[in-house]
Every structure is written in C-alpha cells, then in structure tokens.
C-alpha cells in the first residue's frame, strides 16, 4: 500500500510555516525528487541527512503537488517533545500520530469557555468544498467591508480533514495569515497544525467565535481533495455537514457555490454536481446560497464551451447557474437564493489577493467564474453579519 524510498538530502529549498521543501537524491537510483517534510513531526532535515520517503502518490502520478513525503530521518532520532498539556491525538493510529493540545482539551486554558459554549450568536459561516475558495471568499469579504466604510472583518479559517491533514501543507494559509487576511486557522477532526486544534467542526466553530472573536468563519477542507467521479465519493460532500453544524450552533450558514466556466467535464460546468449534492442532499438546515450575478461586460470569457468570445458567454453561464441553483432553493429546495453582483470591482479585489488564485490547475484569468462565485459568498457574509 505504500511505496518507500530512501535517500540523502542534497539541498534545502523553500520554507513556510510548518513545512520545508528539499531535494533528495534517491538511493540506488540516478535521480532526485522534491520532498516535503514537517519539522514539527520529523525534525529538521539538513543537507547530508538520510531520510525515509513515502513516494506512493508520485509513483501513481497523483496530484499531490509533486512531492515525496519525508517519513523520518534514519540517521538521527528526533528529540522527544517537551512535557506539556494536551492529550488530543491526531492522525490517530497511523505511524505519524501526533499528540496536541486541543482548544477543547481539559488541560486547555479555554476549556471552561468551551465546556458550556453552545451558540455562535448569528456569526456568518461561509462553507466551501474546495480549499482554493478560501482566499477568494476572504477577498470578497474585505471588499464588501471596504465599500461599506467598515474595517476588514476578523476572519478565522476552520479546516476540515477531507483533504490534507497538516495545515502546514497549505502555503495559502501561511500567506493569508502573514498578510493579515485571516487571523487564525483552526484544524478539526484528524487535521492538525492549526493555530488551535479542535476535536470536531462544532468545537472548531465555537472556538472561532468564543476564543478567537471571529467576525466571519470560512470552513473548507485542506488542499488536495479526494474525488472518484461519482456523486457521493468526494471529500467535499462534508461541506453539507458543516452547514448543518453552523445552523445547529446558531450561526448564519452561507453556502459558497463551486462554479466553473472552464472545466471540460460536464458535471462541473456551471455549478458543480458536488455543490448540488452537498447543499441539496446533505445540508438539511436552510442556508443562504449565494449566486453570482455575472456582469455581462466582464473582461474575457468564462470559457468557449459555452459561447464564443463576445457572443454572450457570461450571460449563458449565468443562465446555466440559475437553472442549476433552482434545484436548491425555494420553492423546489429548502435554501434561500441570494444574488450578489460579480462585476469588475470584485474581479479587481480578487487580483489584490496576497496568494496566487488557483483551482483545479486553473488560475484567475483562466476561470474567473470560479473565484467570483466564492468571492460573492464573502460579500454576502459581511453584509449579513
């Protein structure tokens, strides 16, 4: 089940919060690979260090960012962590299970606050099924606040465990936090490495509200979603459960649609079938489904699959999205449709993001509809908050 390799680190390359990229020369092979290590788990790797690698995804050609993953140094043991509080085990019963201090742990200084916490007091919670929506949602929220003459909202990202388990894998989280676009990351379930650790999405949301004083929460899985080309076999289906959690706790659940004008797969063109499943079948609590009202004169075209450039492509995409959303909202569905302008001003706000916007390998100019659809959810969350 696991493809192993051994090698020697020849170069230390990029670093960001919690992660280190290096070049490793493989033992017995005349080649090198890019490897990723998490120093909090395996210690520091330096040139000359011998390492054990998991190369399963590389061997299978899966989209993991092109990395081998450092499992351990084989030439030196990592010192034991210093004694400290916390007994919350993440990645449980795997060889790399790690013990952390949960925000809801009995030993946590926040335990008394969270023990009886049960209400988000109407705090808006934007839920998206892809990690790539995170910076776009925040861009929309900040643009709405600026337009209203208000300070930027205090945003907390609650990361679920459907994609990457370590929050450290996400360069976007590091860059957004550094730029002040998000104030903290809370990792929930089996995910770990956030500023705060929580057992469930529910305690993650409560921690965002009662410990981190969030104005707005964005919930999404980490990078690297899992899909099988089936209706139910997609890790983002859990977005529907996150909306249920937000509603159960007295928050204002806001559904961010996964939209594309550039995906060659029919099931993802317009509103992705994953959004229709997560929000139409899994989300049992009524929520706001934010629909982008695309300006017909937006620059470029969403994609020639819908129309030739200059021949009404944005209008055609908008019609398709409206028809798909109709299955989710009253009178056919249980949710509320909220239409928000997706115009040049919002596109400019997206261009100001401190990270490169990319979804399924497509950047902003290649699939602007995807990011506009996420951004309008942020706009609505601030207006409704």
pLDDT tens track for 161-182: 999 999 999 999 999 999 999 9
> What six digits make up the tokens of 157?
């990202």
**4-73 — its CATH code?**
2.40.50.220
> What six digits make up the tokens of 88?
């919350």
Task: Give the span between the Cα atoms of 334 and 108, in whole angstroms.
Answer: 39
Whole-prediction pTM value? 0.93
CA proximity to 19, closest of 47, 50, 51, 41:
41
Which H or E element spans position 346? helix 344-351
The structural domains of the chain, with segments of one domain joined by +, span 4-73, 115-384
Q: Where are the beta strands (DSSP E) in 288-335?
A: 288-294
The answer on pLDDT for 65 being more than 70 is no
In this prediction, what percent of the chain has a pLDDT beyond 90? 76
The pLDDT of residue 224 is: 86
Q: Residue 302: which pLDDT band, with cuts at 50, 70 and 90?
A: low
> DSSP string spanning 37-91?
E-HHHH----TT-EEEEE-HHHHHT--SSS-EEEEEESSSPPPPPPP-S--EEES
Q: Where are the beta strands (DSSP E) in the chain?
A: 4-16, 19-26, 32-37, 50-54, 68-73, 88-90, 98-100, 124-127, 155-160, 184-187, 196-197, 216-221, 252-256, 259-260, 270-271, 288-294, 336-342, 358-359, 362-363
- More confident: 212 or 309: 212
> What six digits make up the tokens of 23?
């070049």
- What mean pLDDT do residues 178-203 have? 97
DSSP annotation of 281: I
CA proximity to 140, closest of 120, 124, 123:
124
> DSSP string spanning 225-253?
--B-SSSS-BGGGHHHHHHHHHHHTT-EE
The position carrying tokens 């990792």 is 187
pLDDT tens track for 217-249: 999 999 988 888 888 888 888 999 999 999 999
């Amino acid at each position: 089940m696991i493809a192993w390799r051994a090698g020697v680190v020849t170069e230390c390359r990029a670093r960001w919060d919690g992660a280190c990229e290096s070049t490793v020369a493989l033992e017995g092979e005349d080649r090198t690979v890019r490897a990723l290590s998490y120093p909090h788990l395996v210690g520091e790797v330096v040139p000359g260090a011998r390492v054990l690698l998991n190369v399963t995804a590389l061997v299978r050609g899966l989209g993991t960012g092109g990395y081998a993953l450092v499992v351990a140094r084989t030439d030196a043991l990592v010192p034991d962590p210093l004694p400290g509080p916390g007994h919350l085990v993440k990645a449980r019963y795997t060889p790399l299970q790690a013990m952390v201090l949960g925000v809801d742990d009995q030993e946590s200084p926040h335990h008394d606050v969270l023990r009886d916490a049960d209400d988000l007091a109407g705090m808006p919670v934007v839920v998206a099924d892809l990690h790539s929506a995170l910076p776009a949602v925040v861009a929309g929220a900040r643009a709405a606040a600026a337009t209203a003459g208000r300070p930027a909202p205090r945003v907390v990202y609650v990361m679920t465990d459907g994609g990457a388990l370590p929050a450290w894998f996400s360069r976007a989280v590091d860059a957004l936090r550094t730029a002040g676009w998000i104030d903290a990351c809370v990792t929930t379930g089996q995910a770990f490495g956030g500023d705060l650790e929580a057992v469930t999405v529910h305690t993650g949301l409560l921690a965002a509200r009662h410990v981190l004083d969030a104005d707005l929460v964005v919930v999404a899985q980490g990078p690297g979603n899992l899909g099988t080309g089936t209706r139910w076999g997609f890790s983002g289906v859990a977005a529907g459960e996150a909306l249920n959690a937000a509603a159960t706790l007295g928050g204002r659940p806001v559904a961010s649609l996964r939209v594309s004008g550039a995906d060659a797969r029919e099931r993802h063109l317009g509103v992705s079938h994953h959004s229709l499943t997560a929000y139409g079948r899994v989300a049992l609590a009524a929520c706001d489904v934010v629909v982008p009202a695309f300006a017909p004169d937006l620059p470029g075209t969403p994609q020639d699959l819908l129309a030739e450039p200059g021949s009404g492509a944005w209008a055609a995409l908008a019609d398709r999205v409206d028809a798909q959303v109709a299955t989710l909202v009253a009178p056919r569905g249980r949710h509320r449709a909220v239409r928000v302008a997706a115009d040049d001003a919002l596109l400019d706000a997206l261009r100001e993001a401190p990270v490169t916007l990319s979804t399924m390998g497509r950047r902003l100019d290649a699939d602007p509809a995807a990011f506009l659809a996420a951004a309008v959810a942020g706009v609505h969350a601030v207006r409704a908050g």
